[in-house]
Structure 1
Amino acid sequence: MKPFGKKTALDDVSLQEKVTAPSSVILNEEDINKIATLKDSNKNVKRETKPSDNSSENNTDLNGLLLDTKLQETKILIFNDLIDAVELSQLTNMVDEEVRDEISDVVSEIIVMRQLILSASEQRQVIESICDDVLGLGPLEPLMNQDDISDIMVNHSGKIYIERNGKIELTEITFRDNAQLMNICQRIVTAVGRRVDEASPICDARLMDGSRVNVIARPLAIDGAALTIRKFQKQKLTLDDLVFYGSVSKQCAQLLEVIGACRLNILVSGGTGSGKTTLLNCLTNYIDTGERVITCEDAAELQLKNPHVVRLETRPPNIEGSGEITMRDLVKNCLRMRPDRIIVGEVRGSEAFDLLQAMNTGHDGSMGTVHANNPRESISRIENMIAMGGFNLPSRILREQISSAVNIIVQATRLRDGSRKITHVTEVIGMEEDIITLQDLFTFEIEREDENGKLIGKHVYSGLRPSFWDKARYFGLESKLNNAINISQN
């Protein structure tokens, strides 16, 4: 075993002195052999239970992830000894697998010296739980490894909810106390150069895998820090996947493929948790590989496969209140970076005006998402954001800017049964007097509810000819567009 931090080898008296073992215990050759056996056993267990993306274990009952009260007390005892024996701050210089091996070795020594009686399964549980505390997100780590969980919502240290298959569930998993929860929050935000404390109690961040994180701490969160994690799919979804899951029909997906490829300006609209970012990711699959794409996000989570991508992220102010880089700063700077397309992860402020300007000045195919419940409301939201940003433009001029900039609105909706659907594919046609004219190409119509509460419906084509037909012909996509429409009409 390689010593790290403080020395951990048994031939060094420091570990034996630091671990308060019974006074009658003297490590003999049998004890040394027992430790070696435990080390080998624990390493074998770790290899056998290493998470796999395709493992059915990802969907196990959450109760199986909990340590019982006695085992939790044993874990705390071992963890306290581990802190005394190891300089945990020095583990950051090692890769995770090396750290897990070292922790496993030290825990094996502690188990023998304290004469703890644990089965192989219990030893594995304790080691994995300690490694999660040291390296990962503590009690949240098993939830992060479950592919069917999309959101993790920590109300406070004693109450953790998840969203699974569109339904919200209360788990029995808890943090040890608010201090442990706050420590995990600090670890997350520090990794991306941000901070959360009483002076700055709200923070948006992201995990290394792209999952989106929001933290709100005391004094704003009265019961202790609240943590929300929007997990991101390990595998980037495609429109074919959305067809498979029933979120969109095959014909509507073919239309969206044409829309993404022929450089139409797209606004993806939807409520919280409706799948806006996932849908935006799907549409980017059809961007030509030769195009230069620049993305602007508060917390980077888009997963573009294009080779020519520049990813930008906002920055909050520092402790002195200076150094903030807003979304509007990023969008304005994009215009100096020779982009073909600009993609804004979420439009929610005055940057809406700059995005419209970009769409109207040769950056065709730009995209963004907005929080709204229907296509008409998304137009109003953009209008309101620009007005609240201090732009004193007459309503008609502002609406003309919007109608000339935005070509397509795709509405994503989370239905009451928890399913996510694309409910509208809507064109922005132009202006009639002072009103922006919209026409639906596809809508989702609910037909009935089955005995399990699942909403059954279908995507219906309106029969209207898309106004971007000439543009589709220009990009060589006329036959694909015609095919999508003809199939829908039959």
Structure 2
Amino acid sequence: MSPAAGPATSLLEAVRARLVRDGAAPSPARVAAAVRAEGAVLGDAELLAVVRALSAELCGAGPLEPLLADPEVTDILVNGPEEVWVDGPEGLHRAARVRFGGEEEVRALARRLAAQAGRRLDAAAPWCDARLPSGARLHAVLPPVAPEGACLSLRLPPRGGMDLAELADRGALAPPAVRLLEALVQARVALLLTGGTGTGKTTLLSALLSLAGPAERLVLVEDSAELRPRHPHVVRLQARPPNIEGTGEVDLPQLVRQALRMRPDRLVVGEVRGAEVVSLLAALNTGHEGGSGTVHANAADELPARIEALACAAGLSREAAHSQLAATRAVVVHMVRGGDGARRPAQVCVLRRDGTGLVRAVPAVVVPAGGPPTEAEAFPDLADRVGTDWRRGRP
């Protein structure tokens, strides 16, 4: 086999399969070890050339490399060889100059990225949901699940956190809204950020955590490392998916329990979407002030139902779920995304129990696009907790 001609397909497949079995990231050293383990007899120079070729094949992202390097891109969606879409500040649009050579090249890239995550993607396992070593979230599907050809999506991790001033400069926050959010953090109220996918929940939560006092210890629990607070004392715990044999998983509920034993001043769950909601509710009710998390919800008033559904699936009764949610006294900040792609908070709500004992999210402040916050029904409740100085501004 000549290095110039590229590695044989059989060797490439054998090395890829070995790395997936081992659950190892395809670093040059591990690729070299896998080549040797396959019994290939090569000289040093030839081995180096083959390792380089295999590393490029196993690690590269091909036509997507320029998009991965763009700090403004948050999502990359590949629907076929000539259909690549990206999401960012301007909203979802087609990447006009990005093309693949054909369906097989898209499929090869999907398998390559799955191998990076130590996952299998082939006819027997035609879908993959995994986290790449870079922190990006990968989802890929192959035929016959995707009858028109392989599709993949990448949710890219934030390149760096922004503070509230930078969000204001981008037009996401008016000055009174900045002061209100600062007051929420300083009052150490529990915060739940809601919104749909891509509305900026994680970005805003990172900015709010950056406002915590430098003497406070932040313990972050995440499925994928996305929060980037600018803070001197941050401890990260990150979930781990099962390996190809289905073992070794470390899930969010386990990590939340561990985080509670790590003396957090603020416990943060990056995205609440499963049984970890029970541990988070318990944490917010046991003296851990200033805790926070994000929850997918299309509207702020849907939050109680969303929490109820997650908590009941995890074993709590409906009454217990609403009782614990009410006891958190959390403030809800709901995020939206406008037609122009701008992400911003639209409402700040407080939680109230109604006559049936169920919790409702009641608007306290409404934040119009580009305008100052206005008072709503539950404003007195919010004012009791954070004051009203934020309305007058700084001297």
When the two structures are superposed, what TM-score results if normalisation uses the length of structure 1?
0.64
Shift of 1:397: 3.6
**Structure-2 change in CA distance of 1:277 and 1:469 (3 Å):** same
Which residue in 2 is equivalent to 1:458?
A: 371
Is the 1:264–1:407 contact (alpha carbons within 8 Å) kept by the matching residues of 2?
yes
Structure 2 residue 367 is the aligned partner of structure 1 residue 444:
yes
Deviations 1:409-448 (A, max 9, x none): 11111123322221111122455442425443321336xx
CA distance in 1, matches of 2:366, 2:385: 23
Which residue in 1 is equivalent to 2:189?
A: 264
CA distance in 1, matches of 2:285, 2:163: 28
Shift of 1:465: 4.9
**Structure-2 change in CA distance of 1:164 and 1:322 (3 Å):** closer
Is the 1:260–1:365 contact (alpha carbons within 8 Å) kept by the matching residues of 2?
yes
Which residue in 2 is equivalent to 1:385?
A: 310
Shift of 1:135: 5.5
Does 1 or 2 have the higher relative contact order (CA < 8 Å, sep 6+)?
2
Structure 2 residue 354 is the aligned partner of structure 1 residue 483:
no
Across the two proteins, how many residue pairs are aligned to each other?
A: 355
Structure 2 residue 230 is the aligned partner of structure 1 residue 305:
yes
Aligned-residue CA RMSD in angstroms? 3.3
Which residue in 1 is equivalent to 2:77?
A: 153
**Structure-2 change in CA distance of 1:280 and 1:399 (3 Å):** same
CA distance in 2, matches of 1:293, 1:193: 30
Aligned AA (2:389): N
Q: What pairs up with 1:231-270 in 2 under 5 angstroms? A: 231-270=156-195
Which residue in 1 is equivalent to 2:152?
A: 227
Shift of 1:152: 1.1
Shift of 1:326: 2.1
Q: Which runs of 5+ in 2 are unaligned?
A: 16-25, 31-53
Structure 2 residue 131 is the aligned partner of structure 1 residue 205:
yes
Which residue in 1 is equivalent to 2:63?
A: 139
2:364 counterpart SS class: strand
**Structure-2 change in CA distance of 1:343 and 1:131 (3 Å):** same
User: Percent of aligned pairs with the same residue?
Assistant: 32
**Structure-2 change in CA distance of 1:327 and 1:178 (3 Å):** farther
CA distance in 2, matches of 1:147, 1:345: 21
CA distance in 1, matches of 2:281, 2:129: 28
Is the 1:160–1:170 contact (alpha carbons within 8 Å) kept by the matching residues of 2?
yes
CA distance in 1, matches of 2:164, 2:305: 28
1:445 counterpart SS class: coil
Deviations 1:432-471 (A, max 9, x none): 442425443321336xxxxxxxxxx524320765546666
CA distance in 2, matches of 1:153, 1:258: 38
CA distance in 2, matches of 1:216, 1:92: 27
CA distance in 2, matches of 1:91, 1:371: 35
Aligned AA (1:239): L
Which residue in 1 is equivalent to 2:281?
A: 356
Is the 1:207–1:213 contact (alpha carbons within 8 Å) kept by the matching residues of 2?
no
Which residue in 2 is equivalent to 1:185?
A: 110
Shift of 1:270: 0.4
2:138 counterpart SS class: strand
Which residue in 2 is equivalent to 1:295?
A: 220
Residue from 86, 92, 96 that aligns with 1:162: 86
Shift of 1:239: 1.2
Is the 2:266–2:289 contact (alpha carbons within 8 Å) kept by the matching residues of 1?
yes
When the two structures are superposed, what TM-score results if normalisation uses the length of structure 2?
0.78
Is the 1:216–1:227 contact (alpha carbons within 8 Å) kept by the matching residues of 2?
yes
Aligned AA (1:171): A
Is the 1:194–1:205 contact (alpha carbons within 8 Å) kept by the matching residues of 2?
no
Is the 1:203–1:216 contact (alpha carbons within 8 Å) kept by the matching residues of 2?
no
Residue from 198, 214, 221 that aligns with 2:139: 214
